[in-house]
Structure 1
Amino acid sequence: MDKGNLDHKLFLFFLEDHITFFTNKVDTDVHQHHYIQVTLSLDKMFTVEIEQEVFQTSGIIIDSNKPHKLQGTNGWQLYVLVNPESSFGETLHHKLEDNGFYSFDYIDMALLSKFKSIESLQQYKQFLQQLMETLQLHKIEAHSPLDPRIQQVINYIGNTQFEEITIKKLSEYIFLSESRLSHLFKAEMGISLTSFLVHEKLKRAFLLIFTGMKMTDAAIEAGFHSSSHFTRSVRDKLGMSPSSIRKDSIYLKV
């Protein structure tokens, strides 16, 4: 697939602690969301508004729940939305300034252009590692093997209908108290179990949507109470509506 020749598309990557967009279709009103946002230009500068300060930049990190507006001006940008509770999120926090954002003076366009040819998880991780080093962010350390109980939980979540999943059921499944499971999960995964479940529901819903299922049906199938519950969750986590993500978009699960 030649991504470089496609117009007005959005490519969507879901991983355990972050979501990555590659798009030329984002022009937002003032909004805020749960994730720490990294936006990097692949060709030309874009316009950002934060707390009535308007400026142009080639790259920026914006803190969680920080109101902002972005005008992509039809250029291609890479968006990385990172769960602030994750170790990746903590790494980004070290780069943020007191005003809640950090603008980059230089972006390696040649490196960013490599994103267009990613076809596998290994390639994506290599790209992300190179990107972190280029942006002078602390290197993401490899995780030690997961506690087998947490691996059991992750496997259970992946093989079970979400409407049947609760923290109580998960704790009973591995014979731990709810508080102990929550603490252990955060320690092992760098993200709270509650946030992980919401993230997984979103991932499952969009996978169903991009394979042809109607949005309402996909939301219910993925474990949301209703389509409105799904829409609120998407706006809270991603800062966009589900319909704007679905339109002219391509989902790449790596």
Structure 2
Amino acid sequence: MNDIFMIGQNFGAITNSIKSDLHSHWLLQLFVSANGKLVINVDGEEISCKAIAVNANIIHEFYTEDLIHFTMLVHPTSQLGRSMRTYFLKNNPYYILSEDRAVELQLLLLNTVLIKKSSNYADLIKSVVSYFDNDTLTAFDPKIKTIIKMIDSCDSEKTPLRVKYLAKAMYLSESRISHLFKEETGIPLKSYIVLHNLQKVYQKIFNGESITDAAIASGFDSSAHFAFTNKKMTGMSARDIIKDSRFLKVSL
């Protein structure tokens, strides 16, 4: 079973078919077991718990063992991602959710699996957001907001994203723009661009495009280039991720 959904910049799934090798990516990731506890390897440590959030750029691996789990990939520059990093994860590799909220999420997850209505998916996501969200965050520097907007609105088919292109548009040197971006967001600019391209591939796949066409249209040199990057960042092949999957759009 694989119900994959997209909410803004964030992706999630209710699944019993994750078997990932050791990998790391610049997204934050939340895992919730439908019942009992999950076992996950994070930064070389085996952890048993009901629900856990893993920080960006932390090596981890996970196997569902044919049991139902919820997982959510949270964009690090989104309101939710910034709140998770600032107030919960901080500089730690992971954060284990409190027992009462973990049980609440488990009950919502079980209800979602049984009923399978978009409203139930929305309730589950809202509960995750309410746990982590914090509206006291300061806004990004205007330059960084402009850079993020340029990246998010770029048509990779016409203009492949490059640091030098962004630097020229912002009247900054490549080293200066890279330094400012990393200092403000905590993410290397080149890594952010790769992450953006990877997400665009999956958006296009969800819309019915082939893996090859989606990869080329999203800024990868070839399907092989995408496959290598995807495996490195997810621990799984794209074909394994989309196999037997149902793609949903959830509105909050």
TM-score for the superposition, normalised by structure 1: 0.71
- What is residue 67 of structure 2 aligned with on the other side? 74
Q: For 1:68, what is the secondary structure of its paired residue?
A: strand
* CA pair 165-68 structure 1, distance change in 2 beyond 3 A: closer
Residue of structure 1 aligned with 2:150, choices 129, 152, 156: 156
**Unaligned ranges ≥5, structure 2:** 113-117
Matching residue's letter, 2:4: F
- What is residue 42 of structure 1 aligned with on the other side? 34
Residue of structure 1 aligned with 2:104, choices 96, 107, 110: 110
* CA pair 144-118 structure 1, distance change in 2 beyond 3 A: farther
- What is residue 250 of structure 1 aligned with on the other side? 247
Q: Shift of the alpha carbon at 1:92?
A: 5.0
Contact map agreement 2:154 2:161 (CA 8 A) in 1 = no
Instruction: Supply the distance in 1 between the matched residues of 2:147 and 2:45 (Cα, whole angstroms).
Output: 45
- 1:133-188, CA deviations, whole angstroms, 9 ceiling, x for partnerless residues? 7xxxxx464342650x4343333331332653211111111211112222232344
Percent identical pairs in the alignment equals: 21
- 1:112-146, CA deviations, whole angstroms, 9 ceiling, x for partnerless residues? 628863788xx89854442227xxxxx46434265
Instruction: Supply the distance in 1 between the matched residues of 2:250 and 2:185 (Cα, whole angstroms).
Output: 20
The 5 Å alignment of 1:1-254 reads: 8-13=1-6, 19-28=10-19, 30-35=21-26, 36-48=28-40, 56-62=48-54, 64-80=57-73, 87=82, 88-89=84-85, 91-94=87-90, 96=92, 101=94, 103-104=96-97, 106=99, 107-111=101-105, 113=108, 117=119, 127-132=127-132, 139=134, 141-144=136-139, 146-147=141-142, 149-157=143-151, 158-161=153-156, 163-247=159-243, 248-252=245-249
- 1:178-201, CA deviations, whole angstroms, 9 ceiling, x for partnerless residues? 122222323444433222211211
Q: Shift of the alpha carbon at 1:47?
A: 3.6
Instruction: Supply the distance in 2 between the matched residues of 1:104 and 1:154 (Cα, whole angstroms).
Output: 30
Matching residue's letter, 2:32: L
Matching residue's letter, 2:222: S
Instruction: Supply the distance in 1 between the matched residues of 2:74 and 2:156 (Cα, whole angstroms).
Output: 26
Contact map agreement 1:202 1:234 (CA 8 A) in 2 = yes
Instruction: Supply the distance in 2 between the matched residues of 1:128 and 1:253 (Cα, whole angstroms).
Output: 14
- What is residue 115 of structure 2 aligned with on the other side? none
Matching residue's letter, 1:250: F
**Unaligned ranges ≥5, structure 1:** 1-7, 134-138
Contact map agreement 2:20 2:62 (CA 8 A) in 1 = yes
- 1:200-236, CA deviations, whole angstroms, 9 ceiling, x for partnerless residues? 1112111111111111111000000111211122222
Q: For 2:193, what is the secondary structure of its paired residue?
A: helix
Contact map agreement 1:33 1:237 (CA 8 A) in 2 = yes
Q: For 1:229, what is the secondary structure of its paired residue?
A: helix
Matching residue's letter, 2:165: K
* CA pair 165-249 structure 1, distance change in 2 beyond 3 A: same
Q: Shift of the alpha carbon at 1:242?
A: 0.9
The alignment covers a number of residue pairs equal to 233
TM-score for the superposition, normalised by structure 2: 0.72
* CA pair 170-119 structure 1, distance change in 2 beyond 3 A: farther
- 1:74-121, CA deviations, whole angstroms, 9 ceiling, x for partnerless residues? 22323345659x74446554484xxx555556243434628863788x
Q: For 1:11, what is the secondary structure of its paired residue?
A: strand
155-164 or 226-235, which moves further after superposition?
A: 155-164
